[in-house]
Amino acid sequence: MPRPFSDVYTFNHKRLENQSVTFECSQDADVWPWLRLSPIHPILVQTINFWASIDSGEFLGTFDPEVWTALTEVEWTCGAPRVGLPTRGIYRTEQQEKRARYHLEFFDAADQSVARLSGRGVTFRTRNFENWRDEAKEKIVKPAPPPFDYASKGAVGVATQSESFLAVLTRAEAISTSGLITQENGLRPAHPYIGGSGDHVNSTHMGEVGRQFGALLLERPLINRGGEMVFSHYVELGTPFDLELISHDEDEQVFSLIARQAGRDCTRITMQYAFAD
């Protein structure tokens, strides 16, 4: 996606001999309010993934801020629960199966690893993105979201009720629920931390969806240890989507779920967790 606004999270970029890029990270929580979250909270991890990858791509000349792009997959591993906020990082790319893949690692002031991420995406260079998206949304998005009964803020581990994205779980043959993210509850200033283009539900939303699903599933606070998301279709803002648990290994403390909307598989989310208490 194009850059949504002019502030930059990473700065002082330097190209190394191996073509990796080092950078420093902003500590300004007034500009970046998600810096008030735990350094390994999914919202923070997915947001720094977005900003550092496009900032570094712009620095290298491999990212055009005027061209729409879409993340198709991302995986991450988090540092220790008490790690500090990212103060610096390193970015590199490699070719895999004729496609570019990026790698990021962030470090705190004590040089501890905060998070390692890797992913890849697609660039919409030949398609009229805005017209294509308008046509796609016409098929799915209704004029007004239907009434939706969100799970309580305590059940999903958020500070305010408006941050809840999901309904309570149904525990039948399948463990499932539904979600609804709108302009009114999913984007700043309505949401305290999450921004974006407003075109669709983004990867930061979906990382938080995975965390909230885990809180409902395990019924206790969880620590984000790592995970993976694979995106096959956009999830549209303003239209309910369905979530279903597809696997859960309690010994390994990892679960996977699928997000569906309008009968299509949209996002597969895998979350590795630890208990916070």
User: Is residue 164 one of the residues assigned to a domain?
Assistant: yes
235 DSSP 8-state letter: B
Q: Are residues 111 and 179 in the same domain?
A: no
Task: Give the pLDDT of residue 21.
Answer: 96
User: Is residue 4 one of the residues assigned to a domain?
Assistant: no
Q: Are residues 187 and 265 in the same domain?
A: yes
Domain extent for 90: 10-123
Residue among 167, 165, 185 nearest 176 (CA): 167
User: Is residue 68 one of the residues assigned to a domain?
Assistant: yes
User: Is residue 254 one of the residues assigned to a domain?
Assistant: yes
Q: Are residues 203 and 137 in the same domain?
A: yes
Q: Are residues 92 and 183 in the same domain?
A: no
The first and second tokens of residue 66, run together, are: 């005027």
Q: Are residues 97 and 217 in the same domain?
A: no
Strand partners, 21: 15, 91
Say how far apart CA 270 and CA 230 lie, in whole Å: 9
Name residues of the chain where pLDDT drops below 70: 1-5, 63-69, 122-146
Task: Give the pLDDT of residue 143.
Answer: 62
Domain end among 79, 103, 123? 123
SS3 144: coil
The first and second tokens of residue 237, run together, are: 């803002």
Q: Are residues 177 and 260 in the same domain?
A: yes
Q: Are residues 142 and 165 in the same domain?
A: yes
CATH number at residue 175: 3.10.129.10
User: Is residue 1 one of the residues assigned to a domain?
Assistant: no
Q: Are residues 110 and 145 in the same domain?
A: no
Residue among 241, 242, 116, 227 nearest 174 (CA): 242
Domain end among 103, 123, 143? 123
Say how far apart CA 71 and CA 92 lie, in whole Å: 16
Q: Are residues 54 and 118 in the same domain?
A: yes
Residues 6+ apart with CB under 8 A from 133: 199, 200, 234
Say how far apart CA 12 and CA 25 lie, in whole Å: 9
Q: At what angle do helices 203-218 and 42-60 cross, to 10 degrees?
A: 160
Q: Are residues 137 and 268 in the same domain?
A: yes
User: Is residue 110 one of the residues assigned to a domain?
Assistant: yes
Domain end among 65, 88, 123? 123
Q: Are residues 264 and 222 in the same domain?
A: yes
SS3 139: helix
Instruction: Please give the helix or strand (H or E) that residue 212 lies within, else none.
Output: helix 203-218
Number of domains in the chain: 2
Strand partners, 91: 21, 104
Q: Are 208 and 165 spatial neighbours (Cβ–Cβ below 8 Å)?
A: yes
